[in-house]
Structure 1
């Protein structure tokens, strides 16, 4: 059975995470961990308390939903960077903008 779009993207993110860690790029590694977690969270089904087993199927995410998740993470960083600029935190704002740029690779 072929890999789902979400699994394919997470595989790519994990491969890139290993490379970022090997290159000691903390900012990129943090971004990649966040992207993986955002996808994992979106795949988690809502629990209604009636599940009698620990085996609950993950939700299937289509490519449009995956793009929306990544776009949301990009927007979050850009908004935070703007807010940081307004309070004189230019270095941290620049780091967030760099993370947003890196995240665009996955759109």
Structure 2
């Protein structure tokens, strides 16, 4: 994935987040924020103790992520939610399982954008 493609994907996530806010879809909002954070965390670069960043700086260097790396992040998020949803269903917590399945349905189309 080129930097342009990675930036396009981030823009797409932001657009989806705005749409989720407009629709007041709390599960989608929560899920998209989680995905954005997972991608940001995966791209984080270790900060040197001698770094010259300003103390109030909120921006840190990021490594570019490849398309397969982003897909792997999305798939890991899907798998984690599916496992917990299955456990909720086994314990009779259909509402919580349904919420997680909705989150999965929010993530799955994103993987198709990257393939």
**Equivalent residue for 2:76?**
72
**Equivalent of residue 66 in structure 2, options 43, 49, 62:** 62
User: Is the CA contact (8 Å cut-off) linking 1:5 and 1:61 kept in structure 2?
Assistant: no
**TM-score (norm. length: structure 1):** 0.88
Post-superposition Cα deviations, 1:24-83, rounded to whole Å, max 9, x if no partner, equal 111111111111111111111123424233575311101000000111111111011011
Q: Unpaired runs of 5+ in structure 2?
A: none
**Equivalent residue for 2:93?**
89
**TM-score (norm. length: structure 2):** 0.82
Q: Name the stretch that deviates more: 17-26 or 3-12.
A: 3-12
In the alignment, the residues of structure 2 paired with residue 8 and residue 33 of structure 1 have an alpha-carbon distance, to the nearest angstrom, of 16
Number of residue pairs aligned between Structure 1 and Structure 2: 106
User: Is the CA contact (8 Å cut-off) linking 2:81 and 2:100 kept in structure 1?
Assistant: yes
**Equivalent residue for 1:6?**
6
